[in-house]
Structure 1
Amino acid sequence: MSNKILLIEDEGSIRKFIRVNFQRNNFYVTEAASGEEGIEKAKSENIDVVILDLMLPGIDGFKTCELLRSEFPNVGIIMLTARSQDMDKIMGLEFGADDYMVKPFNPSELIARTRALLRRIGKELPEDSNILVSGDIKLDTFSMKVYKNNVPLDLTPKEYLLVKTFIENKNKPLNRNELLNIVWGYDYFGDTKIVDVNIRRIREKVEDNPSAPIHIETVWGIGYRWI
């Protein structure tokens, strides 16, 4: 399982930019557009690091940081802001942030700081965590390859991300909108049937009998589930 990042940022374009870069580096990312929403997400998911914007609607980043730190003392927090004043940095650290970055920033530096923070708080995953196994299917998040009975499968990047999402959420029904948001992004406005098309293609590659799947189950009225 990947390290889990909670991204609290009210600007959708910035959220997408950060999310895509973390996902490319094998992190699981969940998002919130406000401090209130972020706190609720932290309560419902096992978060390792919070990427927190300072300027938020409702409660601001300082207060959000304070509330997160009081309730989740072992979670890492990196604060983002467009302001570079030393007082903001000091206040962010005093409210419980572990690190601070000023926009605009290099996404590679943010990821490097996140990895460093994970090491400091003892949440960096071991090397073998790159391998996800489910029955006869093995997924290597480092090489981004999927194997069936140790034979590599020829998957497209979208098909790979779908399989990875399914295995990371094994037995959990995922609806089409959830899959679209994770794999195609929140700004995708095309036909939702693209999910069904890709599922059909994946079944042809991972299932012994695609018409009687044992990995990707159709959950009628909802979507799909990896079993």
Structure 2
Amino acid sequence: MTRPLELIVVEDHDLVREELVDFLMRPSVSVRGADDGEVLEALLRQRHADILIVDLNLPGEDGLSICRRMRHAFPEMGLVMLTARVLPMDKAVGYQHGADIYLTKPANVDELEAAVANLARRIRRRVANGLQLDVPRQQLTLPSGATVGLTLLESRLLYELALAPERKLSTGLLVQRLDPHREVPRMADNLPVTISRLRQKLASEPAGAEIIKAVRGVGYQLTVSVTVRA
């Protein structure tokens, strides 16, 4: 993604909202402000947002309800709750309503900036590389909405890499997981062929040929995040 990160601050206190908007604005970050849910919806109709920073005590619809709606409507959106509610129970409710991050007021602006930057990295990976693996159906859904049929071995290969630390496995461990009972002869020899065929199926994607890369002296690594439905 080369477009600016899109933030919306939902805060009914005018001075606080304006200060947060000014503080978070960067050449690579676009920040808009809304004082309630209706204004937020109007802004979203104009342009989508990657991350919302939402106060909970708002006029009309409260922040919890807004976050719950946004989480259902835009599951890829980042949600930061910024509120004066400090009890552990309040935090638990916030996360139950879809918050990615729960921060309490008065806000430490450096902590807020770091939290937004960390969340942005996760959101951008998810949005840019929105691959969804349906293991039972042996099917991969691309960001465009197109689907690619997979063989059982291709599906299992993606599954193992998607769930591995750093999405990376040694060749030996990958072969072992794909063929734990050594029922398929020469699995190690067949593995590069399987990966080559899988790359061909994903060739229409911008990074199709590099979605699975060989790591010299190690094995293979999945270079994009994949949401798995097992």
Q: TM-score, normalised by structure 1?
A: 0.52
Please name the residue that 2:15 is paired with: 13
Matched AA of 1:96: G
3-state DSSP class of the match of 2:124?
Answer: coil
Q: How many residues align?
A: 126
Please name the residue that 1:113 is paired with: 115
Moved over 2 A (4+): 121-126
3-state DSSP class of the match of 2:106?
Answer: coil
Please name the residue that 1:45 is paired with: 47
Please name the residue that 2:82 is paired with: 80
Q: Contact 2:76–2:126 (CA<8 Å) still a contact in 1?
A: no
Q: Contact 1:48–1:123 (CA<8 Å) still a contact in 2?
A: no
How much does 1:25 deviate? 6.7
The 5-angstrom pairing of residues 158-173 of structure 1 reads none
Matched AA of 2:29: F
3-state DSSP class of the match of 1:121?
Answer: helix
Identity %: 36
The 5-angstrom pairing of residues 1-227 of structure 1 reads 1-24=3-26, 26-123=28-125
Larger Rg: 2
Say if 1:81 and 1:25 are closer, same or farther in 2 by CA, change over 3 A: farther
3-state DSSP class of the match of 1:74?
Answer: coil
Q: Contact 1:39–1:68 (CA<8 Å) still a contact in 2?
A: no
How much does 1:125 deviate? 11
1:72-91 deviations in Å (ceiling 9; x for gaps) = 11000000111201111111
How much does 1:5 deviate? 0.3
Please name the residue that 1:173 is paired with: none
Unpaired runs of 5+ residues, structure 2, are 129-230
3-state DSSP class of the match of 1:100?
Answer: strand
Say if 1:77 and 1:20 are closer, same or farther in 2 by CA, change over 3 A: same
The 2-side partners of 1:84 and 1:25 are apart by 33
Matched AA of 2:47: E
Please name the residue that 2:139 is paired with: none
> What is the root-mean-square deviation in Å for CA atoms of aligned residues?
2.1
Please name the residue that 2:183 is paired with: none
Matched AA of 2:113: I
